[in-house]
Structure 1
Amino acid sequence: MTNPLSDLSSAGVAVWLDDISRDRLRTGNLAELTRTHSVVGVTTNPTIFQKAVSSSEAYAEQLHDLTVRGVAVDEAVRLITAADVRAACDVLRPVFDATNGTDGRVSIEVDPRLAHETDRTRAEARALWWLVDRPNLFIKIPGTLEGLPAITATLEAGISVNVTLIFGLDRYDAVMDAFMSGIEQALAAGRDISRLQSVASFFVSRVDSEVDKRLEKIGTPEAKGLRAKAAIANARLAYERYEKAFATDRWAALAAAGARPQRPLWASTSTKDPSLPDTVYVDELIAPGTVNTMPEATLLAFGDHGVVSGETIRPRYAEAHATMAALAAAGIDMEDVVAVLEREGVTKFEDSWNQLLDAVRAQLGTS
């Protein structure tokens, strides 16, 4: 028997879980989700770790040991998060082996306070790769302007990368260029580029949150009629650009040398607007060669009542272009929207990281 999640996988969408915790690992829940809910990857971020560490006793023993050793709080956070990611990599290793390295991946993010510091991001990426020490690891690097050369350098070093916090189409073009540059440089350095993998995390629901707020302020009937349409249109046009980028002679030469394409990953796929269907950002973004990383609530909802009726991206390119034109005519400046979302995204992860540091600092002081 099939179910919506296995149908989604059959349609070419890799199902990843956007969550991790030591409790989930120790209870075997993550392993169970791989068996029952088609989960073949895991993404993490500072907010996820902050919630996990702040709400569970599962970290008490490690925190005690770190306290006894006198480990500084920044290094303690690296060791705590790396331990969870390493364990998740081990759980997903059979998937990694079965898919020849395409899936079975787990992501860990560089310190978000480094989002605008190229050299420190590059150094942190190398340190995390060494610390986790698993071949199915992704290092998450934000797709900021300063992050682009760090992405290239990290791939050149033979480290697989998950590019995060992508909101706009032009920046996505730059991310794909940075990816190909990294693969080219890795090839020139004599690396086996067939072992390098990358995904580009294109954020979805946050686009609707920002655009819909602006549409409500504009207040015309035409503007209000465009609510909840921007995010899906934006993501569909991102896939159109993905298809164009990976149909070039530049990519054909890399593919001939063994390179694998950087897959689009739909992130921020839970609905922020309660009036929307809870699976809308999964239902409407089905296309081969993509990843959809879902919070557990969205994963379970799609497994319960999601519908896979075929591709929902490529047949709707014209509709997506028309939607973006209508948004512009209504007064929505998408360049400003994505700039605001990038700034807010970096700030939110910085805030979560600082809260994580505070939580660990407090427990180091009392353990």
Structure 2
Amino acid sequence: MDLLQTATTLYNSLTHLHHTLREAHATMPSSPFHLATETLDFLRLRLPPPLAHPRVAIVCGSGLGGLADAADQRGLREEWAYGDVPNFPLSTVPGHEGKLVFSTMGPRQVPVVLLVGRAHFYEGHSMETVTFATRLCRLLGVETMLMTNAAGGLNPAYRVGDIVCLNDHLNLAGLVGFHPLRGANDDEFGVRFPPLSDAYDLPLRQLAHRAWHDLRRQTPGGRAMHEGVYAFVAGPSYETRAECRMLRLLGADVVGMSTVPEIVVARHCGMRVLAFSLVTNQAVLAPTLRADGAELQGLSREELEALQSRGRADHQEVLEAGRLAAVDMQGLVLRIVSEL
């Protein structure tokens, strides 16, 4: 009898342990690789063969969703709202439509996937979530990531509407611990310590300059393209005057709240990267006005507020600059993709 009771107790304990382990496993967070694989399976079941293996991914930043118009509108095209795709993060920011578009582009019908809008760290997403789409692109077979964003111009030579081909970055959020590769390394994607000194592909940048020169010859305009350094900050507030001067002293030409985490993960996954910033506002580098300045004495409150608000960043200004630059950006992207 004692032996039967012991066996029963042992059986009950093992059963309880089994259920406990199953429940713990069910509540454990899935790895980025597992989640991206789930989404990949969902998409591959629904995509026609010509679109199931895109070679190029294009990320459309604030106000630049019109880049999706550069894809084939008459041939093969499949699209989903982000909310209809398993595990896909949603963007809550105006100017980020939030849809995934599979199509072809250019006379050679290069298969592409366009991410019309992105998730941002400042929305409350984790860095893992912010870079989910980048890892998914790698599993889809993407070889080249072409990224765009809206940014504030720190370089005094830049004008609103100019395009900056990025050649380096300052990952300020990453330097203080908010890094997209923090935590256990996903060996399925890349190595533990990936180098970033070659993050911005030189042949791709050369191609971008050739494409821009061709575009300007065909359609002359006042918009310029530069090369420069992008400073990534967490946001969502725009930078103070002192912060803008600090970033400029550190070597940044433009500043924004996206893109760099995606670039880090893209390089971790072995993809080539080409990135553009559209200068949508000029950062205010002049020191703030001193309240005891003689030139301010006697001015009305309205006059003081007008002086202080000069150059103040505004999201509607960002979207409008994106709208005006849409045609040039579409032409540039189409020429680049056609050569890949």
- Structure-2-length-normalised TM-score: 0.23
Larger fraction in helix: 1
- Structure-1-length-normalised TM-score: 0.22
Larger fraction in strand: 2
